[in-house]
Homo-oligomer: A and B are copies of this chain.
């Protein structure tokens, strides 16, 4: 349920534009741009670029949701239900985890 609300927020907001969504590879170029801004921000907080740390963490939060916004645009354009995909990914990871746990038990004998 949860990510559906996020995707719907994006769909409501982008309705004002014509076309509502950019072309897929235009969307990806924006995804690259926003991802790069996360990198710059992390280099300011944890790397060699100097910044006021508290302010930059605030900025990082906005950069992260900018990436999320583009993810939702891509998903909306392709009719992808992110919550459904998320649940599927979670299931796969859980299965993998249990699989690994079993191995760990064997290893610890």
Contact = CB atoms under 8 A, between A and B. Distances in A.
Identical subunits present: 4
Contact of A48 (B26, B48, B57, B68): B26
Contact of A64 (B39, B71, B97): B71
Nearest to A89: B65
Nearest to A75: B64
A39 B33 contact: yes
Contacts of A64: 71, 74-75, 80, 82, 85
Contact of A28 (B28, B65, B69, B82): B28
Interface residues of A, number: 59
Contacts of A88: 62
A23 interface: yes
Nearest to A85: B61
A85 B97 contact: no
Interface of A: 1-3, 5-6, 9, 13, 16, 22-40, 42-43, 45-48, 57, 60-62, 64-69, 71, 74-75, 78, 80-82, 84-86, 88-90, 93-94, 97
